Structure 1
């Protein structure tokens, strides 16, 4: 990833996290490629179970999507046609979040700003109301908790919204966290549990021996490992690290976001608010996060005028008070998106596990993913809730062996 000065470094409001060690150890029980939310969540859980764990990050922790996210835990608001297979995993992970939160806050001493006010999904005008009705019918058929609200009922919950808001859905079980605080907490918890985090250390190759992955090679040396876990987010599908037979259908979807500073005069929101154009997440420190564009443009860095205009205009359409709010930070990141927008959690080869492709549900799915991978390494199999998310659901892999492909590349 190219250095991106618009990533929200100035927005990291959370308590300072201790700097992780930088030396690459010679050996570790588990080596995790990728220091984002998913990688650190797995590292922490595995270290809690007594394993030695090393996280190797190509840039800095959270640089891909984790610090660029809004922190939505919103299976109801996210539910859409075609996402039925993902819903059980989403609900399972949401049920694990309170325990994950309590453990993480206790281990780190960091309050992650877990908010439970629920989510409002809004509509303006007849066409949007019709589409919202369709979404509500889908939610009800899927057994989700969502209540239809008239325009006046919506504005009773959020008086700062425009009178033009025609209708809404209230999803009381859709929660949110502050990504900057979660990442700071995970760093602290990992370090306290003995995890080694090595930044600015791109992985150059996986080490194979007799058909098994035995470690990885980096520009700073080699590390031997009993298990390598690939959790490199949007970079997981890049050519070169995996043989063609094990290639992953994962690509980056760029997103741009911004942070506004609210005051008593500007007012703010009490709930996470979604429209067809944007979502807005109020944080307890007074920031209002507005996100996020969806751009299928590869690893194109930076923030664009068009992206910021779309965010501001989408927010202003329902919340006029943003005109008086100061813009404190803008940034972009890359969602790791699989071909069916669902994660890939699987054993790719002996000694090689993958956990990637979480699309825009990384924060929601982090507890279930971490627990599933911990169970896989401990018990030899994924728990029932994660078994549908293997690589085999995509096009079947070539029967050629990874060793043969590496030898003939």
Structure 2
């Protein structure tokens, strides 16, 4: 089976690798592989700590994907031939003032309601786990199931596995014949035939002719990478997430003596790193982790994340031969193993859990409810007929 994947961020790369593992003749296309949101990601696999009120559909997806990570990592490290920085030491969420303590309490209540194991700690107990935490920390929640990984190592391993099946080209058009998608066209004019095309190009989907208009918007994130002085290492042994006067900040340790500090969440403003965001991140991080002020800034980076109105991804078959896989917002690294598995299942025409399918349906925001339901309910021949009629009407 010939499958073409548009996009080579962590979602596209993981999906292409899973298809390759299943025996597909796969090609992944991206002009700048792993240089979008994946490059700026901190790599928190924090299904529990990411829980938020009103996001009941996201938490089961996040936990399911987190459960796939050990096997995903084993495959990467064996086939890709490199360590990917997988840490299983948990995540410590901390707070400073009374409002932060209240937010942590609510988070713990939500996690408990979903059956997520967490442990509430005093500020003193939190400092026993992480001595570098400052006296401003008055409360904490330990999520032992929340791990972390180095996304840059992950994407490097995925690229190594794909080898020449990853092409640094730009897709400009999705090709259709006889009522179905049959391939892609590159800006060079070359056409690549495919039984199935998977569009996993994040915000780049909007610039490809022949793909549906999707409700995606860019949500920018600024991150910093800092080198910890040798005398202070290890600054942390696990990820620390904090609420500082209601503002979120996190610090993720790496094995090379650096930490990742992030991340702002902003819509609009400058496309590059925003000075105000950097100032706020450093100030808030220093409040809970005073040693951060002694670290050397080695990188500042900003990237837009592809966000949807309900913070859930867009993943599903939208017409014969075309699967959409985008809109992962800040959860792309966490959801990559699940997205890869579901994307490959969809490419092969396999059924996926109906509750999951409904939650991530790419057409759930469509105003044409009749068409959306038709694609969901009709048999494959009927879907092909409907898609063909729609093509003729354009």
**TM-score, normalising length: structure 1:** 0.86
In 1: Cα distance, 2:340 partner to 2:89 partner:
26
Residue pair 1:93, 1:367 contacting (<8 A) in 2 also? yes
How many angstroms does 1:385 deviate by? Answer: 6.7
State the partner residue of 1:255: 221
3-state SS of paired residue (1:275): strand
Render the CA deviation track for 1:34-81: whole Å, top value 9, x for unaligned.
Answer: 011010101111111111111111x31111111110001101000001
Aligned to 2:80: 108
Structure 1 residue 232, shift from structure 2 partner: 0.7
- Does 2:151 match 1:182? no
Equivalent residue number for residue 345 of structure 1: 315
CA distance in 2, matches of 1:248, 1:350: 18
TM-superposed CA distance for 1:395, in Å, is 3.2
Question: Is it true that 1:266 corresponds to 2:266 in the alignment?
Answer: no
Aligned to 1:224: 193
Match of 2:382 in 1: none
Determine if the alignment matches structure 1 residue 393 to structure 2 residue 360: no
Give the distance between the partners of 1:399 and 1:167, measured in 2 at CA.
50
Alpha-carbon distance in structure 1 between the residues aligned to 2:191 and 2:223: 37
Q: Give the SS at the match of 2:333.
A: helix
User: Residue 340 of structure 2: which of 370, 382, 394 is its match?
Assistant: 370
Instruction: Work out whether 1:172 is the aligned partner of 2:139.
Output: no
Alignment of 1:286-325 (within 5 A): 286-297=257-268, 300-325=270-295
Aligned residue runs from structure 1 range 6-405, under 5 A: 29-57=2-30, 59-191=31-163, 196-199=165-168, 201-220=169-188, 221-236=190-205, 238=206, 241-242=209-210, 246-267=212-233, 268-276=235-243, 277-297=248-268, 300-383=270-353, 386-388=356-358, 389-397=360-368
The Cα of 1:30 is off from its aligned counterpart by 0.8
- Match of 1:360, SS state, is helix
Listed one character per residue, the Cα deviations across residues 154-175 of structure 1 (whole Å, up to 9, x for unaligned) are 1111111111111010000000
* Structure 2 gap ranges (5+): 372-385
Mapped contact 2:171–2:208 kept (Cα < 8 A) = no
How far the C-alpha of 1:301 sits from its partner, in A, is 2.6
CA distance in 1, matches of 2:38, 2:103: 30
TM-superposed CA distance for 1:88, in Å, is 1.4
CA contact (8 A) 1:89 1:385 kept: no
Distance 1:75 1:81 in 2: 13
Superposition deviation, residue 247 in structure 1: 2.1
For the 8 Å contact 1:227–1:352, the answer to whether it is kept is yes
CA contact (8 A) 2:14 2:340 kept: yes
TM-score after normalising by structure 2? 0.89
Q: Retained in 2: the 8 A contact 1:32–1:56?
A: yes
Cα RMSD after superposing both structures: 2.0
How far residue 211 of structure 1 moved from its aligned partner, in angstroms, is: 2.1
- The one-character-per-residue Cα deviations of 1:223-264 (angstroms, maximum 9, x if unpaired) are 11111100011223x265346xx3221221111101000123
**Aligned residues of 1:119 and 1:170 also touching (Cα < 8 A):** yes
Would you say the 8 A contact 1:62–1:183 is kept in 2? yes
Of 260-269 and 180-189, deviating more is 260-269
User: Could you say which residue in structure 1 is the equivalent of 2:380?
Assistant: none
Q: CA deviation at 1:403?
A: 6.9
